[in-house]
Amino acid sequence: MALKIGQKSPDFTLPSTSGEKFTLSIHAAGKPCVIYFYPKDFTKVCTAEACDFRDQFSAFRDLDVPVVGISRDTITTHLKFKKENNLPFELLSDGTGNVCKLYDALIPLVKMPKRVTYFLDSNHVIRGAYSDMFESKKHVDEMIKLLKK
């Protein structure tokens, strides 16, 4: 279950593939934002999802909507994943799983991130959420629908 539509998104700070820490309230201040949580780099569905965001990235970039992917993988692994798949957006490392938990994106027993995507408005209120562990393309499609509204 994702966080509720209309709820203010929790602020967070995580290490980023940019080499700096990413803080939602600073790095996406005053901008809508897409945050997607995913289980693991280099797995089939996670790679497909990242590549779908890459292939549709111009729709987000043209409207100045940052996209960030979050998993529990290390920055070292994220950097390899980002390079191998030519990803134009940042990946964030939530090694402790605390941010995943804040966003109700953590499977309790196995402590693995769920596949859930959030669309935040410019005040970082959740305006859309999509959750499906086994379908990747629909995450991107749902966010693009929200962009067009």
Tens of pLDDT, residues 79-126:
999 999 999 999 999 999 999 999 999 988 888 999 999 999 999 999
The reported pLDDT for the residue numbered 1 is 53
Check whether 60 has a pLDDT greater than 90. Answer: yes
Domain-located, residue 6:
no
pLDDT digit string, tens, across residues 8-24: 999 999 999 999 999 99
Q: What is the CATH number of the domain that holds 129?
A: 3.40.30.10
Task: Kindly indicate the confidence band of residue 50, based on its pLDDT and cuts at 50, 70 and 90.
Answer: very high
Dihedral (CA of 134, 17, 111, 41) sign: positive
| 8 assigned to some structural domain | no
Q: Is 51 labeled as catalytic in the residue annotation?
A: no
Is residue 73 in a domain? yes
Dig out the tokens for 140 from the structure.
């991107």
User: b vs e for 103-129, b when ≥16 Cβ sit within 10 Å of the residue's Cβ?
Assistant: bbbbeeeeebbbbbbbbbeeebebbbb
Contacts of 29 (CB under 8 A, 6+ apart): none
Residues paired with residue 33 on neighbouring β-strands, in sequence order = 120
Q: Count the Cβ atoms, other than its own, within 10 Å of residue 48.
A: 15
What pLDDT does residue 27 have? Answer: 95
Annotated catalytic residue within 33, 46, 51, 100: 46
What is the span of the domain harbouring residue 115? 36-148
More confident residue, 21 or 145: 21
Q: How many domains does the chain have?
A: 1
**Assigned domain for 75 exists:** yes
Q: Is residue 5 situated within a structural domain?
A: no
Confirm whether 21 is domain-assigned.
no
Query: Is the pLDDT score of 47 beyond 70?
Result: yes
Question: Does a structural domain hold residue 25?
Answer: no
Asked if the model's pLDDT at residue 137 lies above 90, the reply is no
